[in-house]
Amino acid sequence: MSEEPFPVTRFAPSPTGHLHIGGARTALYCWALAQGGGRFLLRVEDTDRARSSEEAAGGILEDLAWLGIAWDEGPEHEATDGRHLGGDPRGVGPFRQALRLERYVQAAAGLVERDLAYPAFDTPEELEGLRAEARAEGRGFRYRRPAGWDRDAALARMANEPHVLRFRMPQGAMTVRDAVLGEVDFAEEVLDDFVILKADGFPTFHLAVVVDDEAMGVTHVLRGQEHLNNTPRHVALQRALGYREPVYAHLPVIQNADGSKLSKRDKDKRARQGLRERLAAEPEALAGLAGPLPEAELERWLGDKRSQLEPTALAALAERLALALPCVEVEDFRAAGFLPEVLCNYLALLGWSPGEKDADGRDLEHFDLDFLAERFALERVGVANARFDADKLAAFNQDALAELSDGDFFRRWSEWCQRYAPSALERDVDWRRRLAAMLRTRCRSLADASDADGPGGFAWRGDDEIEWEPKAVAKWLARGEPSGWQRLEEARDALALLEPFEPEGIEARIAALAEERGVGMGKLAQPLRVAVTGSAASPPLGETLAILGRESVLRRIERCLAECREKE
């Protein structure tokens, strides 16, 4: 590995699904550390042939591009905004491990030749027997080359018998230096002779990552603390191969509010819980919920908490259950209507702090990617696990949406709709533009603006789909003398011939009527708001009524009078 004057970092995901939010944070930190002269490269670790897919690899590239995390080297990708990412200016590619097999085989063969690795012929049944024996003796299972092992005989068997190659882990304890955790000691009892080349000829993660980091000049390896136990293996391999050891930095684990690890399994867990709740109420409902899965397979999954549904089957089940699954992957947050710059801002705080105060003397929390790139340093990465606060992220997002101009909010909402809610674009563009301006400061996400249950839901529902909140009806329509019903009829008559039916004129007409009756404007505005939206909360009354149009407003009033009044 050549000496590099600036950091060379890498993010190396396995293409087995969309990018997990923890992986996105790792990529963000790798990107930030490499700014100001370094290089950030992206490498696809696709040697797990059973689980890797081209679709997943493409999804990860798009996830990173959407977040604004641009890689200097790696697979080439055209982002949706027209940016061209990736390439191989230093000639260190290719960046897919499946295309680099010869390098791994050569490295493994060199280790075998020097007796630093050896073939092992254990069957799965034999390995399970060894594990069972360790459990029975109350010790952890550790594979070591047996005493009296005949090297010549084993090498002769390699040509005709299935085998794996195992690395000979040096005897003794080992200490690893970590830029975040400091010195970490590993007892000999946890260090085993691990597999570096599988029976199918493909490398394990351990060998491939070490060979590639050396070949690509990686100087800093940033990854989650769940990889910490792999580090002594990788360091031992680097020393055996004569490679330079990069700087290791293991990042805090991202946890849910309850202290559990934020995991893709959280979706499965929530769906399983939702299905059990439905079956408790409707024991015969399983057949109708199976969807693309056979009923027997869904039943098996329900009883085995270790198994996971495929993403398409999981999404179909959640839709049938009308169940919102937790956001775990970048695509989840994008579909939920979060802005990429907000997500990056929040992710940066899950383990790192700029150590600065804002104008009010509070810890600085709101910043952009340029700020992060200028100030990021491993010294300010914490050791403690980071708690993911969904409400805080939503508040960040709402603040950012409110700061957009009306034009920017409309543009970004329209782009979101094109991907996730295309039917919303069937409405007139001027109508959508007006609605967006009304809702900008009220939305916690872009999805809220076109959600029938969101702050503008009254505008998306048909006149015959409005449902009235009983508490709002009781407070604003059923009480008073004269009652809210009478005030509503007066407001209806005042608006029936109003022309033009625009916010300023509506507000002025209701204000004038309130003055004529000698009451506060709320006595008229609130019954009117409840009748047309179903709720006592909405955008300003004039804007609310204008976006609906006079005919719709009058129909809703008449329906409310007819259906709610008669229930008293």
CATH of the domain at 472: 1.10.10.350
How many CA atoms lie less than 13 Å away from 528 in the CB half-sphere?
34
Which residue is it, tokens 């949706």?
Answer: 80
The answer to whether residues 161 and 269 belong to one domain is: no
- Does residue 182 sit in the same domain as residue 283? no
Instruction: Place 3 in a pLDDT band, splitting at 50, 70 and 90.
Output: low
* Residue 334 falls inside a structural domain: no
Q: Is 475 a catalytic residue?
A: no
How many alpha carbons lie under 13 Å from residue 356 in its C-beta half-sphere? 11
pLDDT of residue 2: 44
Residue 230 pLDDT grade (very low, low, confident, very high; cuts 50, 70, 90): very high
Percent of the chain with pLDDT over 70: 98
Q: Which residue has the tokens 């329906």?
A: 559
Same domain, 179 and 211: yes
Mean pLDDT value of segment 194-215: 96
Least Cα distance to 15 among 66, 49, 64 occurs for 49
Query: Does residue 105 share a domain with residue 165?
Result: yes
Spell out the residues 6+ positions from residue 368 whose beta carbon is closer than 8 angstroms to its own.
Answer: 341, 345
Q: Band of the pLDDT at 290, cuts 50, 70, 90? A: confident
- Catalogue the E-assigned strands of 43-90: 74-78, 84-87
In a domain, 365, yes or no: no
- The most confident of the ranges 97-111, 135-149, 473-487 is 97-111
Phi then psi for residue 244, to 5 deg, are -80, 145
Tens-digit pLDDT profile for residues 8-56 = 999 999 888 789 999 999 999 999 999 989 999 999 998 776 666 788 8
CATH number of 137's domain? 3.40.50.620
Same domain membership, residue 320 and residue 247 = no
- Give the model's pLDDT for residue 49: 67
Task: Select from 327, 343, 359 the last residue of a domain.
Answer: 327
Token pair in block for residue 50: 């059973």
pLDDT tens digits, 43-55:
999 877 666 678 8
Q: Is residue 554 in some structural domain? A: yes
What pLDDT does 55 receive? 81
Query: Burial letters for 459-489: b for 16+ Cβ neighbours within 10 Å, e otherwise?
Result: bbbebeebebeeebbebbbbeeeebbbebbb
Residues 247 and 104 reside in one and the same domain: yes
Closest by alpha carbon to 310, among 278, 273, 268?
268
Shared domain for 477 and 510, answered yes or no, is yes
Residue-wise pLDDT for 428-444, tens only, equals: 999 999 999 999 999 99
Q: What is the pLDDT of residue 294?
A: 83
Q: Which two tokens stand for residue 554?
A: 């009058």
Identify the pLDDT of residue 1. Answer: 42
Q: Are residues 269 and 198 located together in one domain of the fold?
A: no
Catalytic residue among 198, 264, 471, 523: 264
Question: Which of 224, 251, 278 is the last residue before a domain boundary?
Answer: 251
Query: Which position has the higher pLDDT, 298 or 175?
Result: 175
Q: Are 538 and 546 contacting, i.e. CB atoms less than 8 angstroms apart? A: no
Exposure of 327 by Cβ count < 10 A (0-12 exposed, 13-18 middle, 19+ buried)?
buried
Give the three-class secondary structure for 545.
helix
Select from 221, 251, 281 the last residue of a domain: 251
Which has more pLDDT, 505 or 283? 505
The answer as to whether 164 is a domain residue is yes
Tokens 């010790």 belong to 139
pLDDT at 81: 80
> 338 in a domain, yes or no?
no
The helix (H) or strand (E) run that includes residue 165 is strand 164-167
User: How far out from the chain centre does Cα 267 lie?
Assistant: 11
Q: Which domain holds residue 546?
A: 461-567
Query: Are both 306 and 173 inside the same structural domain?
Result: no
Output the pLDDT for position 384.
Answer: 93
Q: What is the mean pLDDT of residues 349-354?
A: 96
Determine the longest span between alpha carbons in the chain, in angstroms: 106
Average pLDDT in the 440-451 region?
97
Beta-carbon-side half-sphere exposure of residue 458 (alpha carbons within 13 Å): 28
The number of distinct structural domains making up the chain is 3
Q: Are residues 218 and 274 in the same domain?
A: no
Is residue 288 in a domain?
Answer: yes
Instruction: Indicate if 231 and 272 belong to the same structural domain.
Output: no
The dihedrals phi and psi of 97, each to the nearest 5 degrees, come to -65, -30
pLDDT category of residue 157 using cuts at 50, 70 and 90 = very high
Q: How far is CA 447 from CA 67, 310, 547, in A?
A: 18, 25, 19
Q: Which residues pair with 117 in a beta bridge?
A: 167
| 477 and 545, same domain (yes or no) | yes
- Classify residue 342: in a domain, yes or no: no
Return mean pLDDT, the chain.
93
Give φ, ψ of 249 to 5 degrees.
Answer: -140, 110
- On whether the pTM is more than 0.85, the answer is yes
Residue 30 domain flag: no
Residue 541 near residue 506, CB atoms below 8 Å:
yes
